[in-house]
Amino acid sequence: MTVVAEIDCECAHCGLPVAADDVDSSAVEQFCCGGCRAVWTSLHSCGLEQYYELKAREAAVRDDRRPANVTQRRFAHLERPEFVAKHVRIASDGRLSTELCVDGLHCGACVWLLEALPRLVEGLLSVRVDIGRAVALIEWEQGRVTLGEIARRFDQLGYQLLPMLDPAARENDRAIDRAWLIRLGIAAALTSNSMAVAFALYGGLFATMATPYRVFFQWASVALAIGALVGPGRIYFVNALAAIRTRTPHMDIPVALGLFAATGSGLVNTLRGTGTIYCESATALVFLLLVGRFIQYRQQRKARQDVELITTLVPAIARRRSTDGAIEEVPIEALMRGDLVEVLVGETVPCDGVLVSGVVHFDVAILTGESKPALTNAGESVWAGTRSLDQPATVVVEVSGEATRAGRLLALVADASRRRPPIVELANRMAGWFLLAVLAGSGFTAWWWWHLGSDVAIARAVALLVVTCPCALGLATPLAIASALGKAARAGVLVKGGDVLERLAKPGTIVLDKTGTLTQGRMTVTSSEGDATAFALAGALEQSSCHPIATAISRAFAPRNSTAASTSRVHERAGYGIEGEVDGQAVALGNHAFVTERYGEAPRWAKTFASSAMARAETPVYVGVDGALRGVISVGDPIRSEAQSIVAQVRSLGWNVVMCSGDQLTVARAVGRAVGLGNDEIEAGCDPERKLAFMRDRAHASPVVMVGDGVNDLAAMAAADVGVAVRNGAQSALHVADVCLAAGGLRPLVKLLSGAQRTMRAIRITLAVSIAYNATGGVLAFNGLVNPLVAAVLMPVSSLTVLWLALWLPKFDPVRRAEEVVP
C-alpha cells in the first residue's frame, strides 16, 4: 500500500505549498491552482512582475497566503442602469466614479498592483484602494471604458469587484466616524490644557499663591470643564437621562453624577472664593471614557458591516434561453417561472428549478454540507447556490431570489442573528451597584458630619462623589477587550466583537461541522493498492472528468506531460464510473457494481482493501486495464491531522464537544471515531434547517459555539452564541461568523477558548483593582482627607494602573509557524 505524499514546493503566485501531485517537473514555476497560473501569466504579459518583489518585502511583515481566484465572469451587472443609478457618481467633467468592495486583497503589493492599473487600461483614470475596509474608489472616463471591462481586468488579476450593499449607510457611518473623531479631538485638547492649569494650582498648594492668580487659574479650570461637559461630554447626560426615564441602570448615570458634582462644586467654590475644586478630574474623565466608548463603537460597527456582504451567495445574473434559442444575460429579478436557464460547468445555479435533460453532478455542499456531489437526473430538482460539476445544465425556473431555498436560508440567518439576545455587559451590570454604593456612601458622609456644619459635610460628600471614579468600569472593559482582540488577531484568531469574549467566558457546548472543519474539505487519494502503471493510465483517463473523485485521482496519478497519453472513446456513466482507451489500452474504473459487471467478482485482496476504505468512510475505486482488475484506489476527504488533539484539548478546557454533519450516519461516525467522539456525540444527516433546530434545542445549555466552514452552517452559526468559521471556508461564512480562524486548521480554536477565559479574568482583576482604589478614595474622602492634590494623585494613578492591567493582562499565545498545518 502506498500513501501519497503532500507538500514540497511553493506556488509561484501565492506562495502556498503545491501538492506533490500538482508539481510539473518540466516547468520552472509551479502553481497550486489554475487561478494562480492565470494571474501569474497575465501579470507577466502586462509587465507587472514588480508585484512579486513588493510582495516578498511585505511577506516579512505579514503572512496571508491565499490562492488567486479567477472567475472569468462578465460583470455585466455592473453596467446595468439600476446599479449605475444607485452606485455611480457622475462628476461635472464627465468622469464617473464608484466605490466597490474588493475581494482578494491581502497586502501592500495588491495596493500597488491595482493602483498601477490606470496606466494599462485606457480610460481608467484612477484606482484608490483602502486596504483596511477592502474597498476601491474607481474613477473612469465615460465612453472610453466600461465598469464591466474594468471589473474583468480586476478578475484577470485575481480580484473580484463586488457592489456594496448600501452606499447610503456607508456614507452615514462615515459621518458618525467624523463626529466621533472631532469629539475626541476636542476632549483631548480640553483635557491637556486643564491638566496644565491644574499643575499650576497644585504648585500653589505648596508655595502660597497670591489670590488673584489662584482665582484666575480656578476660573480657567472651571471654564475648560464646562466646555468639556457641554461639548464632548454632553452624551453622558443624554444617556443618563434616557436611562433614568426607562429605569435601567446604565454606566452613564454614575458618570454623569460624578461629572456634575465635580464641575458644579468647582464652580460654586470658585464663586465663593473658598474650598477646593476638582474640575480637571471631570475634564479628564470625559476624555478617557470617550476613548473607551469609541473603541467599542468601532468594534460593533465592524461586526455589523460584515453581515452585509453575505448576499453574494447566488449570482446576480442568469443566462436565459429565449424561445428562439438565443442566450441573453438577465438579472435574476427578471426570471419568471417556466423560463429556461443555462448553467455552464463550474457555474452557480441562479434559481431553484428542475433539470431539463441529462444527468448532472451538482456540488450541493453549500446547502447540505455533503462532501459527495449529488447526482441529479432530468426532472429532478436543482437548487440555487449549488454548482454544476461535470455537464452544462438547462434548468426550468421555479422560483428565484428570496423564495429559493438559499434565499430562505439567508433569511433564517438574518432572523437568527436578530434574535440573539444581547448580553448585558459586565460593566453595565456593575454600574447599578456602583451607583448605589457611591450615592449611599456620599449620603452617609453628609449625615455623619452634619454636626461639624453643613459646609464641611457637603464638601466631604462632594469629594467622595468626585474621587470614586467609574473610570475602570467605563474604560477597563473596552480596553482589555480591544487589547485581547489585537493579540488574538496576531495569534490567527479574528474576533469580531468584544461581547464574543464575554460569551465564551464560561465553558458550554461546542458544535463542530464535519466537512471542511474536521476534515480538509477536498477529495484526495489517501491510499492505493495494485499496479502503478494501471494507476497512471487511470489518472490519464480521469483527466477528462470534472467529478471531484476523478480530479483527485488525476491529481495523484496523471502523467505530468499531458501529451504522453492520448485518451479516446471516453464514456462516463454518472454514479458508476468511467471507461475509455488510453494509449490503445482499454481502461475502466468505478465502483463495485461497475467493475463486477466487467471483470466478474473482485479478488479477495481488493475486497479487503475496499472494505477497510469504507470503514474509514472513504470511497474505493476499482481500476481495470485490458480486461483484468489491476488495483484499487481509496479516495476520501482526509481528516485534519490536528483534529483529534484539538477535540481532546477543547474537552480539557471543560467544553462538551458535539459533531453535527450533513453527511450520512456511517460517514459521520467513521470521522467521529477518528477524532475521538462517541456515537452519542454525533448528529448526522443535518440539513441547514435541522442544524438550526439542533442549535435552538441546546440554547439553554449556554454558551453554544458553532464551528463550521460552509453556507450550510450559516444559520446555525448565527443562532449559536458564538459562530466560528475556519479558514478557506465560504466567504459568506466568514462574514456571518463572530470569529474567523485565520491561521490554518483548528489549532487556533483552543487559543480562542483559553484566551477568552484569560481575558475575562483580566477584566475581573482590573475591576477588582479599581474597586480597591475607589474604596480607599471613599474612606479618605469620608474622613475629610481628600484635597485636590490627593484627588489629582489618586485618579491618574488608578486610571493608569487600570489601563496598564487592561492592556497587559489578556493573553493569546501566538501560533508558532512550525506548528501551522497547511490545509
Binding site for another protein (CB under 8 A): 45-48, 50, 54, 57-58, 72, 107-108, 111-112, 115-116, 119-122, 129-133, 149, 152-153, 156, 174, 177-178, 181-182, 185-186, 189, 192-193, 196-197, 210, 213, 216, 220
Give the DSSP H/E element, type plus range, for residue 458. helix 454-467
Report the 10 Å Cβ neighbour count for 591: 17
Q: Measured between alpha carbons, how far is 416 from 405 in angstroms, rounded to an integer?
A: 16
Among residues 216 and 297, whose Cβ is nearest to another protein? 216
Among residues 214 and 690, whose Cβ is nearest to another protein? 214
Beta-ladder partners of 95:
141
- Smallest gap from Cβ 809 to another protein, in A, equals 27
Cis status, amide bond into 350, omega within 30 of 0: no
Collapse the DSSP code of 332 into the 3-class scheme (helix H, G, I; strand E, B; otherwise coil) and give the result.
helix
Nearest to 66 by CA among 637, 751, 555, 744: 744
- Smallest gap from Cβ 487 to another protein, in A, equals 19
Grid coordinates in use for 642?
Answer: 490536528
Q: Measured between alpha carbons, how far is 580 from 742 in angstroms, rounded to an integer?
A: 43
- Smallest gap from Cβ 195 to another protein, in A, equals 12
Contact by Cβ (8 Å): 602, 596: yes
Among residues 51 and 609, whose Cβ is nearest to another protein? 51
- Smallest gap from Cβ 43 to another protein, in A, equals 11
- Smallest gap from Cβ 48 to another protein, in A, equals 7
Report in angstroms the alpha-carbon separations of 141 from 122, 123, 477, 508, 754: 9, 5, 49, 57, 53
Grid coordinates in use for 764?
Answer: 475581573
Contact by Cβ (8 Å): 206, 788: no
- Smallest gap from Cβ 223 to another protein, in A, equals 9
Report in angstroms the alpha-carbon separations of 233 from 289, 472, 750: 9, 17, 41
- Smallest gap from Cβ 433 to another protein, in A, equals 37
Among residues 220 and 805, whose Cβ is nearest to another protein? 220
Among residues 129 and 553, whose Cβ is nearest to another protein? 129
Phi first, then psi: what are they for 122, rounded to 5°?
A: -70, 130
Among residues 186 and 284, whose Cβ is nearest to another protein? 186
Contact by Cβ (8 Å): 512, 633: no
- Smallest gap from Cβ 327 to another protein, in A, equals 16
Among residues 55 and 293, whose Cβ is nearest to another protein? 55
Contact by Cβ (8 Å): 706, 717: yes
Among residues 94 and 132, whose Cβ is nearest to another protein? 132
Among residues 108 and 392, whose Cβ is nearest to another protein? 108
Report the 10 Å Cβ neighbour count for 482: 20
- Smallest gap from Cβ 120 to another protein, in A, equals 5
Q: Measured between alpha carbons, how far is 494 from 734 in angstroms, rounded to an integer?
A: 10
Among residues 42 and 757, whose Cβ is nearest to another protein? 42
- Smallest gap from Cβ 50 to another protein, in A, equals 6
Residue type, 86: K
Contact by Cβ (8 Å): 4, 17: no
